[in-house]
Structure 1
Amino acid sequence: MARWIPSRRRHLPADGEAVPPTTRATEAAEAAPAGDAAGARLTVLRDALAGIGTTLDEPTTCAELTRAAVRLAGGTAAVLRRTGQTISGYEEITGDADVLPDVRWATAVTREASTPALDAASVPWREYAGAPRTRAALCAPLTSGEDVYGALVWARSGEPLHPGEAELLSVLAERAASHIRHARAYEQVNRTAGDLQRALLAEPGRPHPNLDIAVRYLPAGRQTVVGGDWCETVRLHFGRTLLVVGDVMGHGLEAAVDMNAYRSSLRYIASADLPPHRVLRQMDEISAREADRRPATCLLASVDPGRRQVTLASAGHLPPLLIAPDGEATLLPLPVGPPLGTGLGGYESATHPLAVGETLVLFTDGLVERRGEDIDDSLARLAAVRFPTGDGLDEVLDTILGRLDARYAEDDVAVLAARPYSR
């Protein structure tokens, strides 16, 4: 329900003065026969609602609301946003801000709607004492369920507010409130997932001192929607270190939680010092028994600097990159088994030389995959990168991320670089 304040007298436009098209449509709807008027009003409302909530971004939704309100009834519209007990000033103003009522009045109305003892829909509407006689004003709380997210504030000079317009503006406010509720829930889930992801990535394992490592993680997109990409290192016996890169399918909190489950099972299984393919086999068996666990790809690399070799095993994951001391890069071939969680097994290991000074790079598919491009072409682009001699691991990762425009990737990117050396 919206509180609306009609003007004392009706404003008649002078010759040649423009009248908002949507206002004409509303007036025409009210002047038409009952059946035609209802249909016309429904069309106006449907068109206005279609432009609200096109994204899960709260400021964008508020801007769409004020634009729709002005298209519907002319005048000026703004939003007060409520977060906790804090109410903002006017935001996302569409139209002439000088027409809006005193913000203190609108804030008081919003606080009344937010009072637990009152039903937001039945808050008594007060006339704005400072409003000129020729001005109409409306303040509609943005309510969804029992929550109040702020208010839509609308005002217009001259032309009075018709009852039908007040009803339509109130419906717009209710629709926007529903989208704001979803936007805030979406933001909270992403924040929680991000906190979980950062906590996990902030606790990497420690390799043996005969191996240098560097790790980078880049979330995809402006909204930092967290996925299930992860890296890990596990110390094994006899100076060997197990390097791991994995990618749980999907994004958000569920993917981050499943990533943590895979990472925990990896640490437990790897402590038995099994060959990489047997580690994958046991991880697959464990995850396949959990119906809600999302599938994941995973690449294991057991690095043995003493023997100058690396043993690889893949569960549906892309091959690693090997960078020679002279800067030439190649992709290491290896047998690829099914993703973890399928219960199909069938993993195999492959061993390659890994000399002191050579760099091994493990990565998730977000680094190379591009929309509409064959994966072989994507991998070839990575292998074609040439690296300056003498670069440290951080410089190597900077070169890779820069040459492949990884900061604009459509998926999360996790990269782990490792280089054996003798002390």
Structure 2
Amino acid sequence: MWAEGAGPRPLFGEDADEVVAAALAGDPQDLDRLVREYRLLRQIVDGARAGIALLDTDLRYLYVSPHMAVMNGLPGEALLGRTLNEVLPDVERPDEVLHEVLRDGRPRELLLEGRTLADSPYESRVWRGTYHRLEEDGRVLGLVGIGLEVSAPRQRQRELSRTNRRLLLLDTAAVRVGTTLDVDTTCRELTEFLVPGLADAASVELIPREGPGGELPDGGALRLRRVAVTSVRELAARVRALGAAGEDLHYQPGSAVRQCLESGEPWLGNFSSDEAFSRAAPSADRVSAYREAGIHSGVVVPLIAQDRPIGTLTLVRAGDSPAFGREDVVVARTLAERAAGSLAKAERFAREQGMALELQLALLSEPTFPHGDLEVASRYLPSGTGVLVGGDWFDCLALPGGRTLLVMGDVMGHGVEAAVAMSHYRSLIRALAASGHPPADVLCEADQVVFAGGLDRVATCLLVLVDHAAGTCVHASAGHLPAMVIGRGQDPFLAPVPVGPPLGTGFGGYEAASFALRPGCVLMLFTDGLVERRGEDIDASLRRLTGIPLPVGGALDEVIDTVLAALRVTDAEDDVTVLAARTAERPGPS
């Protein structure tokens, strides 16, 4: 590294001007050193894995290292005398920052992104560059730029970021989609979740199930019911015109939805021509409407539950939104798989609820036979909150001696099992009442029979034995709310009664109480769904009930309607059952 006969002089340690001057003066050792330095410097620069370029004050290339030329995809001589923006317009570079380096001399580090003419496996290339000012005798000559491609780590970072966003999206969907056991609500939650985060418009179409198994037709149009549709505000009117929630849509063979359902695989399309649009659309006459809406890209993913297709999820983008990519399809498919599971549960729930409701209504509609001196009216309202119908029941039984037994009961739980258990309780109470036992004994016998029989559903029950001739009522309660008495010239009140344990516990211990019932008074028996509200104390609810001004002389149905309207039972979280009875006026002396 040192010239022969010379001391240990560092290769690059001396002032360059002195070395050049000595070489020009004819010192062969210095000339040799200068040539060797130049060769080594070129070897360092040309062999560096970083791209190196010299720019003049107008940011034109003065020198380009071989690696920089490879990164740019152009030979070095094609770059000399031209700016980067002229040669490679697809690379973003903030020239104003480079001019600042020329002005103040402070180096800057920049991140450049774009594409060059060189082949690359990356959708967008990224370089990290450092720029320094070059000076000579106080005069600014230009800049030296050193750039290193960081496309690979940046792509890994993007992929990790996309993965994290996808996981976050799926985690959020888990708590926002499928919050109820209602098909329409679940579909609406899904479309609202996807817009505008993933799509400009989203819709869910389900296969009608009235046919044999809901099979897809071999030919002709496929009819689907649009259950939910959501769009950004700008598209709302146009999207509604193409099919609102609740409407039936017909899809031609070969359409995107048909392809998706028949293959069981997602469909992705970016519509570059009307011909492609016409093939994918439900029918060819919709193409112009889609074009007017600015729709240019679509994804259709199947909704599959228990290995059978139940419908599709369709996403579209319009206007300036980017076209859908494979990553979007993966996200949409994952969300659709989760939603399909929720929809399958909702469908099973709807079938079970329908069965339970039909069973319960059939049992409640069985004829009852009060004595002629007792007028009765009833009302049953299943919950509107999506909970399965419960085990409410009522009865009205004519007994010997002109007496009538009023029954109001509520089996714990919901669904078909509760409705079946209700039928057992109703039959049992009827049989025991026919034996002539007083109300407290009827409850005691029923409790023991149910407990011994192993029926796993307990029930509350209120029995009121009306003796019109004596003007008295005897009542007993198995964990049930008391009856309300509505009399002429007096405020409504709850008849006090000792409350025993629910039926089916085996504890027994029921007591009866009696009260006078004047002619023309109204008795109202009810289940807790009438009065119980979340966050409200039951005593406050009952005070609200007895505070309702009620007509006594009108029709009993009017009395029930007044109570239901005052308590707003449409907001009730449980089934509501009401039985009203009124004693006839006794004829005066002739």
Matched, 1:151 2:312: yes
* Counterparts in 2 of 1:183 and 1:89: CA distance versus 1, 3 Å: closer
Secondary structure class of the residue paired with 1:258: helix
How far apart are 1:242 and its partner, in Å? Answer: 0.8
Matched, 1:51 2:176: yes
Is 349-358 or 302-311 further displaced after alignment?
A: 349-358
Query: Could you tell me which amino acid in structure 2 is paired with residue 345 of structure 1?
Result: G
Secondary structure class of the residue paired with 1:130: helix
How far apart are 1:332 and its partner, in Å? Answer: 1.7
* Counterparts in 2 of 1:280 and 1:35: CA distance versus 1, 3 Å: same
Secondary structure class of the residue paired with 1:160: coil
Is 72-81 or 148-157 further displaced after alignment?
A: 72-81
Secondary structure class of the residue paired with 2:475: strand
Residue in structure 1 matched with residue 155 of structure 2 by the alignment: 31
State the Cα RMSD in Å.
3.4
Matched, 1:130 2:293: no
Of 168, 187, 190, which aligns to 1:65? 190
C-alpha deviations, 1:181-240, integer Å up to 9, x for none?
Answer: 111111112111211121122124110112111112223335474222221011211211
* Counterparts in 2 of 1:384 and 1:126: CA distance versus 1, 3 Å: closer
Matches within 5 A, 1:269-418: 269-388=432-551, 390-418=553-581
Query: Could you tell me which amino acid in structure 2 is paired with residue 381 of structure 1?
Result: R
Matches within 5 A, 1:110-129: 110-111=257-258, 120-121=264-265, 129=275
Is 104-113 or 194-203 further displaced after alignment?
A: 104-113
Of 296, 301, 305, which aligns to 1:140? 301
> Matched residues in 2 for 1:32 and 1:44: separation?
20
Matches within 5 A, 1:204-219: 204-219=367-382
Of 425, 428, 431, which aligns to 1:268? 431
Query: Could you tell me which amino acid in structure 2 is paired with residue 256 of structure 1?
Result: A
> Matched residues in 1 for 2:582 and 2:227: separation?
56
Q: Which consecutive residues of structure 2, in runs of 5 or more, have no partner in the other structure?
A: 1-89, 91-151, 215-222, 243-248, 281-294
> Matched residues in 2 for 1:49 and 1:331: separation?
46
Residue in structure 1 matched with residue 404 of structure 2 by the alignment: 241
Secondary structure class of the residue paired with 2:532: coil
Residue in structure 2 matched with residue 255 of structure 1 by the alignment: 418
C-alpha deviations, 1:105-136, integer Å up to 9, x for none?
Answer: 58855456656xxx624x99899853399943
Matched, 1:226 2:392: no
Residue in structure 1 matched with residue 337 of structure 2 by the alignment: 174
How far apart are 1:375 and its partner, in Å? Answer: 2.8
Displaced runs of 4+ in structure 1, greater than 6 A?
A: 97-100, 123-128
Residue in structure 1 matched with residue 350 of structure 2 by the alignment: 187
Residue in structure 2 matched with residue 419 of structure 1 by the alignment: 582
How far apart are 1:301 and its partner, in Å? Answer: 0.9
Residue in structure 1 matched with residue 229 of structure 2 by the alignment: 92
TM-score scaled by length of structure 1: 0.81
How far apart are 1:350 and its partner, in Å? Answer: 1.8
Query: Could you tell me which amino acid in structure 2 is paired with residue 326 of structure 1?
Result: G
* Counterparts in 2 of 1:291 and 1:173: CA distance versus 1, 3 Å: same
Secondary structure class of the residue paired with 1:53: coil
C-alpha deviations, 1:131-175, integer Å up to 9, x for none?
Answer: 399943322111122121111122335733322222111112111
1:80 and 1:107 in contact (8 A); partners too: no
Secondary structure class of the residue paired with 1:289: helix
Residue in structure 2 matched with residue 6 of structure 1 by the alignment: none
C-alpha deviations, 1:301-323, integer Å up to 9, x for none?
Answer: 11111222211111011221222
2:187 and 2:227 in contact (8 A); partners too: no
* Counterparts in 2 of 1:320 and 1:182: CA distance versus 1, 3 Å: same
* Counterparts in 2 of 1:90 and 1:258: CA distance versus 1, 3 Å: closer
* Counterparts in 2 of 1:168 and 1:231: CA distance versus 1, 3 Å: same
> Matched residues in 1 for 2:194 and 2:253: separation?
17
Matched, 1:81 2:244: no
1:299 and 1:313 in contact (8 A); partners too: yes
Q: Which consecutive residues of structure 1, in runs of 5 or more, have no partner in the other structure?
A: 1-11, 13-27
State how many pairs are aligned: 393
* Counterparts in 2 of 1:140 and 1:258: CA distance versus 1, 3 Å: same
1:228 and 1:247 in contact (8 A); partners too: yes
TM-score scaled by length of structure 2: 0.60
> Matched residues in 1 for 2:444 and 2:579: separation?
23
* Counterparts in 2 of 1:330 and 1:49: CA distance versus 1, 3 Å: closer
1:236 and 1:242 in contact (8 A); partners too: yes
> Matched residues in 2 for 1:93 and 1:83: separation?
21
* Counterparts in 2 of 1:90 and 1:259: CA distance versus 1, 3 Å: closer
Query: Could you tell me which amino acid in structure 1 is paired with residue 176 of structure 2?
Result: G
* Counterparts in 2 of 1:43 and 1:314: CA distance versus 1, 3 Å: closer
- Taking CA–CA contacts closer than 8 Å with sequence separation of 6 or more, which of the two structures ends up with the larger relative contact order? 1
> Matched residues in 1 for 2:310 and 2:583: separation?
56
Residue in structure 2 matched with residue 23 of structure 1 by the alignment: none
Q: Which has the larger radius of gyration?
A: 2
* Counterparts in 2 of 1:275 and 1:30: CA distance versus 1, 3 Å: farther
* Counterparts in 2 of 1:43 and 1:32: CA distance versus 1, 3 Å: farther
> Matched residues in 2 for 1:261 and 1:105: separation?
52
* Counterparts in 2 of 1:404 and 1:135: CA distance versus 1, 3 Å: closer
How far apart are 1:401 and its partner, in Å? Answer: 2.7
Aligned-residue sequence identity (percent) comes to 41
> Matched residues in 1 for 2:387 and 2:330: separation?
38
> Matched residues in 1 for 2:568 and 2:188: separation?
32
Residue in structure 1 matched with residue 48 of structure 2 by the alignment: none
How far apart are 1:298 and its partner, in Å? Answer: 0.5
How far apart are 1:299 and its partner, in Å? Answer: 0.5
Is 256-265 or 47-56 further displaced after alignment?
A: 47-56
* Counterparts in 2 of 1:65 and 1:334: CA distance versus 1, 3 Å: closer
2:385 and 2:572 in contact (8 A); partners too: no
How far apart are 1:30 and its partner, in Å? Answer: 8.8
Query: Could you tell me which amino acid in structure 1 is paired with residue 178 of structure 2?
Result: G
> Matched residues in 1 for 2:476 and 2:452: separation?
22
Is 57-66 or 333-342 further displaced after alignment?
A: 57-66
